[in-house]
Structures are given as structure tokens and as C-alpha cells.
């Protein structure tokens, strides 16, 4: 990231966004220099925003207290890489090769982290890999030039993921520090507020209409579909996995019989207002956050697009291809919505009706063992 900045400073004598934009729009600059600068800055973003292969720090950072995870690992710090590329969009649109790489790494990260999330048993680890996966979606949007969509997902993700992290904190608090979802279950009747806020946020991240994630994720999928059908296919599978692992988490934590110790059962209680009020506020935002970016198909104003137009107008439309036909857009929305419902249904069938439980550590075999051990990336 620093080397990229040095190259900008050395060649253009400034790091000021507006000055750089006017220089790049008027002067002819060597293409290889622009590719080098965009790649170097992007490598900084890969580390900061936990993309393949520099993502292993984020799940490990979950050892911190939950409010810290909620703020830093859901909303502010990890999205800085997304923000940087969106803000420097006028440099990136000059380097289509880098843009394609960004989209490809985003897609790879989205699917890779989603598969790991499916088999994790620590409540915060599931959410950590889910964050890595959602960041992959944001980078996919940036890579296809849909800068507004990427930032839109940053906003909605902040709402529902902060709510999920704080909700997991309420659960851990009620269970005296227990984080293993195999030792939870049935918490719905003791913790109704936590349960409902958690469900609303899980529906939002799964892309269920009319919650916020439906609008932002859908916009990303539509933009990716226009540019690259293969990446769209990968993103769609990652999206289905998201709905599955989130509701696996919900069902194992909140439904069925309590599987913890008697002592824990004796202590079970809903959290005090200090914890539940933020949950309720965030759940409301997760429910209505989609209003910031209603689809143009219903001739609504995309408030976020208008707000960000000074940053993206000069370049944003240059890279966005002609709009999808309304029929295609409706079909994509309906498909994504149906897929999310099917994934949630499968999780219900498996963990509520089938009362299936994740196996104990060391009992995984074959592919499940590899995925459970996070593909051994940290070891490598």
C-alpha cells in the first residue's frame, strides 16, 4: 500500500484525490504504471479487508470482546479496503486488468469463506468467516465497476453484522462465556429479544426480501451477472451457503433442547436493557436499511447513488454497462430470494426436524475434516 502511494507521489507529486483525478483525466499516463499502482494499493486492501490469501488474521482476532468485533470487524476497519478502492475509483477504471483481478479475488474469497463457515462450531467464528465472505461480495462489486453497490453493501452489512455480533455476545454472556453452539440450544424461550433481533439480522444477511441485505446483495449479483456469468455463478452459490450457515447457527443456538450444563441453565436470562436496546436499534436498521437503495426497476430513488454521485459520476457510469432488462432483473431477484428460502428450509429440515448435531472435534472425516480445519491455510 505504501509503495503504491510512493509511486503516486513520485509520478504525480500529490496524494490528493481531487488533484489526482484532474491529472489522470487530462494527461496520458503509462498504462503499466497505472496497473502497478492499482495492484499495489489493492494488495494493501487484501490485507486490510481480509481477502484470500491474507484473511487468516480476521477469525483469529475474534478473541477480543464482542462489542469490539461488532464495531471493528463488522463495520469500520475491515471495510477500509473497500472504501479506499471505491474512493480511488478514477484510478481503477483506467486499469481493467486490476479490476478483473479484484472481482475474481472477491468471488474466490466469498465462496471460500462461506464453505468454511458451514462447518464452524464457535458462534463468533461462524460470524467471522461470514464477514470475510461478505467482504468478498463487496470486492466483486468494485471489480465490475459497481462502486455504489459495493458501498451500499458496506452500509447494510454494518447494520446486520454488528447486530449479529452483539447478539452472539448476549448469548455468550448468558452462558457464562460458552461459545460452542453444540453446547447451546433452546435459548429462544429464555432470550426472546436476542432471538428475534438475531433472526431479523440473519434474514437480512441471507438476502430475504424485504430486509436490507436483499437489496444490496441483489444489486451486486445483478451487476456481476452483466459482466461475467461465471463470477455470478460463484457469487450465487456463496449466497446460498450464507443463508444455510446463518440458519444453522440460529437453529442450533435458539431451538431444540438446551445442551449445556445444569449450572448454565440455572443462570440463563435475557440480557439487560444496556445490551438489548442496541440490538433492537440495529435489527430495525437491518430491516429497513434497504430503503437507501431501492431498485430502479420500481422507479424509486436510489438515495445512496444520489448521495455518492459526486464521487462516482465522473467514472461510475463509464464502467457500468447498459441496465438489465426489467424481466431479467426480476428473474434474478426471484431466483436469489427462492434460493435463500430453500437454503433456510434445508437448514430447518436438518437441524430442527432432523435434530442433527455437528460432530465432536476430531470426528470429522474426508472433505469435512479439511474444511473444518479451514483448508489448513494457517498451517501452510
User: What is the tens place of the pLDDT at every residue in 108-132?
Assistant: 999 999 998 888 888 888 988 999 9
The pLDDT mean for the chain works out to 86
- The three three-digit cell numbers of residue 175, written as one number: 452462558
Q: Is the pLDDT of residue 59 over 90?
A: no
Residue 140, preceding peptide bond in cis (omega within 30° of 0)? no
Length of the chain in residues, anyone?
Answer: 380
pLDDT for residue 227:
85
Dist. CA 14–CA 94, nearest whole Å: 18
Q: What is the pLDDT of residues 333-359, one digit of tens each?
A: 888 889 989 999 998 988 888 877 877
pTM, full prediction: 0.88
Which has more confidence, 72 or 281? 281
pLDDT for residue 2:
94
Q: Is the pLDDT of residue 156 over 80?
A: yes
pLDDT for residue 10:
92
Q: Lowest mean pLDDT: which of 51-60, 62-71, 317-326? A: 317-326
Instruction: Name which of 198, 182, 219, 244 is nearest 302 in CA terms.
Output: 219
Band of pLDDT at residue 314, cut at 50, 70 and 90: low
Mean per-residue pLDDT for 170-176? 86
Contact 81, 46 (CB under 8 A): yes
Q: What is the pLDDT of residues 289-304, one digit of tens each?
A: 888 878 766 666 778 8
- Percentage of the chain modeled with pLDDT above 90: 26
Band of pLDDT at residue 322, cut at 50, 70 and 90: low
Dist. CA 199–CA 204, nearest whole Å: 9
Q: What is the pLDDT of residues 6-32, one digit of tens each?
A: 999 998 888 888 888 888 888 788 889
pLDDT for residue 57:
84
Q: Is the pLDDT of residue 318 over 50?
A: no
3-class DSSP assignment, residue 122: strand
CB-based contacts of 99, cutoff 8 Å, min separation 6: 92, 93, 142, 143, 144, 145, 319
Amino acid at each position: 500500500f505504501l509503495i503504491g502511494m510512493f509511486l503516486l507521489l513520485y509520478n504525480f507529486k500529490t496524494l490528493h484525490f481531487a488533484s489526482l483525478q484532474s491529472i489522470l483525466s487530462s494527461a496520458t499516463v503509462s498504462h503499466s504504471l497505472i496497473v502497478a499502482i492499482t495492484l499495489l494499493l489493492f494488495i494493501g486492501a487484501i490485507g486490510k479487508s481480509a481477502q484470500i490469501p491474507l484473511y487468516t488474521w480476521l477469525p483469529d482476532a475474534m478473541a477480543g470482546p464482542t462489542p469490539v468485533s461488532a464495531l471493528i470487524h463488522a463495520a469500520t476497519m475491515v471495510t477500509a479496503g473497500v472504501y479506499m478502492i471505491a474512493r480511488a475509483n478514477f484510478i481503477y477504471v483506467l486499469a481493467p486488468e486490476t479490476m478483473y483481478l479484484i472481482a475474481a479475488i472477491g468471488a474466490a474469497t466469498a465462496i471460500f469463506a462461506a464453505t468454511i463457515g458451514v462447518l464452524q462450531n464457535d458462534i463468533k467464528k461462524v460470524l467471522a468467516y461470514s464477514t470475510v465472505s461478505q467482504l468478498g461480495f463487496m470486492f466483486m462489486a468494485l471489480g465490475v465497476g459497481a462502486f455504489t453497490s459495493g458501498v451500499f453493501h458496506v452500509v447494510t452489512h454494518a447494520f446486520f453484522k454488528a447486530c449479529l455480533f452483539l447478539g452472539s455476545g448476549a448469548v455468550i454472556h448468558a452462558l457464562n462465556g460458552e461459545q460452542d453452539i453444540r453446547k447451546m440450544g433452546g435459548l429462544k424461550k429464555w432470550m426472546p429479544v436476542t432471538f428475534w433481533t438475531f433472526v431479523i439480522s440473519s434474514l437480512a444477511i441471507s438476502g430475504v426480501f424485504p430486509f436490507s441485505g436483499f437489496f444490496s446483495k441483489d444489486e451486486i449479483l445483478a451487476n456481476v451477472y452483466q459482466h461475467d456469468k461465471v463470477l455470478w455463478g460463484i457469487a450465487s452459490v456463496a449466497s446460498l451457503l450464507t443463508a444455510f450457515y446463518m440458519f444453522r447457527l440460529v437453529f442450533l443456538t435458539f431451538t431444540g433442547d438446551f445442551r449445556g450444563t445444569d449450572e448454565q441453565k440455572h443462570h440463563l436470562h435475557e440480557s439487560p436493557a444496556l445490551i438489548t436496546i442496541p440490538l433492537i436499534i440495529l435489527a430495525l436498521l437491518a430491516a429497513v436499511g434497504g430503503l437507501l437503495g431501492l431498485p430502479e426497476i420500481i422507479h424509486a430513488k436510489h438515495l445512496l447513488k444520489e448521495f455518492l454521485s459526486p464521487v462516482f459520476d465522473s467514472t461510475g457510469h463509464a464502467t457500468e454497462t447498459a441496465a438489465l432488462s426489467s424481466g431479467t432483473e426480476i428473474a434474478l431477484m426471484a431466483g436469489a430470494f427462492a434460493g435463500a428460502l430453500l437454503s433456510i428450509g434445508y437448514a430447518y429440515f436438518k437441524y430442527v426436524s432432523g435434530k442433527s448435531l455437528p460432530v465432536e472435534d476430531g470426528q470429522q472425516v474426508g472433505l469435512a475434516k479439511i474444511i473444518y480445519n479451514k483448508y489448513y491455510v494457517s498451517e501452510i
